[in-house]
Amino acid sequence: MDTRAISPEPSPWLPFESRRRARDEKREAVLRTAVQLFLEQGYHRATLNDVADRLNITKPALYNYFRSKEDILYECWAMGQERVEDRIAEIESTNENGLATLRMLVRAYAVVMASDFGASLVRFNVADLSEANQKTTLAGKRRIDRAFRGAIEQGIADHSIKPCDVKLTAFAILGALNWIGHWYKPGGELSPDQIADDFAIRLTADIAKPPDRKPPERKPSEKKTSRSVRRK
């Protein structure tokens, strides 16, 4: 008995930690397959049988990981939301000015949007979720809105962003970003990083106060003269 304890036979079961990890990996594999199918065929057309088939398992085996199809849909959303929130937390901890923060948010959100889990934030219908889950997604959406509005407000306060209608500006920026989830196809002309870099500048161009465009230092009187001359 003691010998067995000291030098144990190899167990056919994995140690607990590895088992937990394997389980998490399998769970995520189910979500990755499910989100692909939901995006390809629409949530209502895609069946759990299709998901199971692609994974070489049976439909009942899916219920080891998820309670229902709706549960899977919600978890796909949660994967995308978690990625966005992780990036927001990271970015907000950098203490850059408002414009730089906003550009980092645009960049990060664009990259997530170009992924399947990211697209699930905008391509599925929240009405297909349970009421409790609908509330959670709504709260998640608000946190994203708040991060973007916060950066814009901060930018106006620290003069890196021109005064503007904060809500409408955030809607315009988030709209352009969310649309990526609809049009982006992997393997297209532009990589997610290229789109992200472009959008970070493009979507903030009209509200950014360009630091290098500052007129050269002049006395106010001179400025007035040159302007009135130009008008004539």
**Residue 230 binds a second copy (CB under 8 A):** yes
Q: Which of 84, 91, 195, 200 binds a second copy (CB under 8 A)?
A: 195
- In the complex with a second copy, the residue whose CB is nearer, 99 or 174, is 174
Q: Which of 186, 210, 216, 220 binds a second copy (CB under 8 A)?
A: 216
Convert the chain into a string of H (helix), E (strand) and C (coil). Answer: CHHHHHCCCCCCCCCHHHHHHHHHHHHHHHHHHHHHHHHHHCCCCCCHHHHHHHCCCCHHHHCCCCCCHHHHHHHHHHHHHHHHHHHHHHHHCCCCCHHHHHHHHHHHHHHHHCCHHHHHHHHCCHHHCCHHHHHHHHHHHHHHHHHHHHHHHHHHHCCCECCCCHHHHHHHHHHHHHHHHHHCCCCCCCCHHHHHHHHHHHCCCCCECCHHHCCCCCCHHHHHHHHHHHHC
Q: Which of 20, 21, 25, 42 binds a second copy (CB under 8 A)?
A: 42
**Residue 183 binds a second copy (CB under 8 A):** yes
**Residue 120 binds a second copy (CB under 8 A):** no
How far apart are the C-alpha atoms of 94 and 28, rounded to whole Å? 30
**Residue 125 binds a second copy (CB under 8 A):** yes
Number of residues that bind a second copy (CB under 8 A): 37
**Residue 206 binds a second copy (CB under 8 A):** yes
- Site track 131-170 with a second copy (rule: CB under 8 A), x = hit: ----------------------------------x-xxx-
* Residues 58-117, interacting with a second copy (CB under 8 A): none
- In the complex with a second copy, the residue whose CB is nearer, 57 or 126, is 126
Q: Which of 31, 156, 180, 196 binds a second copy (CB under 8 A)?
A: 180
User: What type of residue sits at position 65?
Assistant: Y
How far apart are the C-alpha atoms of 29 and 117, rounded to whole Å? 12
Q: Which of 67, 202, 223, 224 binds a second copy (CB under 8 A)?
A: 202
Binding region for a second copy (CB under 8 A): 41-45, 123, 125-128, 165, 167-169, 171-180, 182-183, 189-190, 195, 198-199, 202-203, 205-206, 216, 230
